[in-house]
Amino acid sequence: MAEIVSLAEAVEGAIHDGDAVAMEGFTHLIPFAAGHEVIRQRRRDLTLIRMTPDLIYDQLIGAGCASKLIFSWGGNPGVGSLHRFRDAVENAWPVPLEIEEHSHAGMANRYVAGASGLPFAVLRGYRGTGLETLNGAVGTTPTIKPITCPFTGETLTAVSALRPDVAVVHAQRADRSGNVQLWGITGVQKEAVLASRRAVVTVEEIVDELDPRPGAVVLPSWTVTYVAQAPDGARPSYALGYSVRDNDYYVGWDAIARDRDAFTRWLDEQVYAMPVTTGSAVRS
Amino acid sequence: MTYSADEMMTVAAARALRDGMTCFVGIGLPSAAANLARATHAPSLVLIYESGTLGAKPDRLPLSIGDGMLAETADAVVSVPEVFNYWLQPGRIDVGFLGAAQIDKFGNINTTVVGGDYRNPKVRLPGAGGAPEIAASCREVIVVIRQSHRSFVERADFITSVGYGSGPGDRERLGLTGAGPKKIITDLGVLEPDPDTLEFTMTGLYPGVSAAAAKERTGWDLAIAADPRIIAAPTPAELGALRAFRGEQGDKE
């Protein structure tokens, strides 16, 4: 059964130095408040897993929380580069960042394999791309290998399962027993939670009863470790029905992230100086 | 009516989409063109975004592939594993509409690293996203990219998404089920693969663009069709719809 705790307690209890952490949410429902709490608690040496690192991992990488990133698209959507991610890869600032790189289809299937209790997933993908030949020949990328279909003899691609130590997701709401409900673009959150050993869910609100919603994903309380209330905890991403995506923040982030000093100031003012669950801004 | 090279490119890309098609849409230039097509000649174009929004009908340009209006206007919203496994992978989608940072003469796309080597790149780009499997599994692919000596290269620094590989026979050998890139639409005109060599050839030019200019802005020895088509300038209706989407008044590069 999920325990309902404060966000600070959830991060302290579930996320430890050296953990593999998957904070998911595909553009929608990105758990920014939880990410900022991880920065405030100064976690180090994390393996960060996320299909789209987005601003949330740009911030964690720039803050020096990560030693490895597993991802499939590292840009600022519709804006350009993630400059903290690039600075880490190109110049090892503030610390070196190892990368493990996939396509979206590959990452999604790696979560599916993890959630399914399988060691790998099969897809039509990667054939002929540089991703499957990073170390030379096809078959030498440790997490991407060709596999022969035992029924047709066709060559397909196997990707190894993702089994994070902890998944972190944001949802619209939970009930007092810790059952979680999310809707709109639901991305890979269900798969990430079920693939992980522990799960932290932040929610817009905690309600007495979850009335059914068409198309909603429900994570039963017994699949979740901690539920923490974090209103507006997805900003500058959004929670459908509660908030809209703060596109100006995404655009404004570019100038802050381009410059190490501007970023460091932002970190001091908008994260370290802020109480837990308070959203950050790109302008003061 | 004056228009910019980018507007001409977006209009030309929109015209490449036929009404009723299903289209897997990349963000940026392709998204602008696909939405323009839906607002003009292709009202029944089915837009599919990798966020799992099938049949999205945005009334302004989304900044990301996951903006709320895509979910709110979609025929269905499915999970990300589902959009790739059930919808893209079996070849249900007519056209993949992609952008690129670099493209080579066989239509291979690079969005990963430029210069240096993979572990020590000069420039680190965002990476693959959905593109490798979109390029592999859509029935055909259209690429929208500004043409320059740097972006149009003999051989991509890194192959993120496969076009025709090293030439004829490669897609079949790799087991890629879609037909591959059929058009590259740029700010100078349109390129199509030579039927025999599959090397991209300039088959159409915008009004006022010379073959010499196209050759100069290409990093390989670009072949120009014997009688390249002159592509019609944007109509006032096309420009009006494009600018309304963008909320813009005038030209903007």
Domains plus CATH for chain A? 3-101+163-272 (3.40.1080.10), 120-160 (no CATH)
Q: Mean pLDDT throughout B245-251?
A: 54
User: Who has greater pLDDT, A278 or B245?
Assistant: B245
pLDDT score recorded for residue A280: 61
Q: What is the pLDDT of residue A281?
A: 64
pLDDT band for B250, please (50, 70, 90 cuts). very low
| Res B245: pLDDT | 82
ipTM, two decimals: 0.95
H/E segment holding residue A263: helix A260-267
| Residue B165 confidence (pLDDT) above 60 | yes
Q: Is the peptide bond before A142 cis (omega within 30 degrees of 0)?
A: no
B135 in helix, strand or coil? helix
pLDDT at A277: 58
Interface check B223 vs A, CB under 8 A = no
Q: Rounded to whole angstroms, what are the CA distances from B133 to A184, A209, B139, B236? A: 24, 41, 11, 36
Residues of A in contact with B50 (CB under 8 A): 104
Mutate to test the interface with A, among B79, B92, B113, B198 (most CBs of A within 10 A): B79
User: For position B144, what pLDDT does the model report?
Assistant: 97
Domain-wise residue ranges, chain B:
5-246
Quick: pLDDT tens for A25-73: 999 999 999 999 999 999 999 999 999 999 999 999 999 999 999 999 9
**% chain A with pLDDT above 90:** 93
Residue corresponding to tokens 């990707």: A159
B147 touches chain A (CB under 8 A): no
Among A191-205, A222-236, B21-35, the range scoring the smallest mean pLDDT is: B21-35
pLDDT, mean of residues B148-176: 97
How far is A184 from B70, CA to CA, in rounded Å? Answer: 10
- CA distance, residue A190 to nearest chain B CA (Å): 9
CATH architecture of B5-246: 3-Layer(aba) Sandwich (3.40)
pLDDT for B61 equals: 86
Per residue in A114-149, pLDDT tens? 999 999 999 999 999 999 999 899 999 999 999 999
CA dist B46 and B34 (Å) reads: 9
**Has residue B151 got a pLDDT over 80?**
yes
**Nearest-by-CA chain A residue for B89:** A124
Which residue, A167, A221, A218, is CA-closest to A1?
A221
B72 is catalytic: no
pLDDT for A214 equals 83
Average pLDDT of chain B to the nearest whole number: 94
* Residue A111 near chain B (CB below 8 Å): yes
Kindly name the residue from B50, B133, B199, B238 that is annotated as catalytic. B50
Residues of A in contact with B109 (CB under 8 A): none
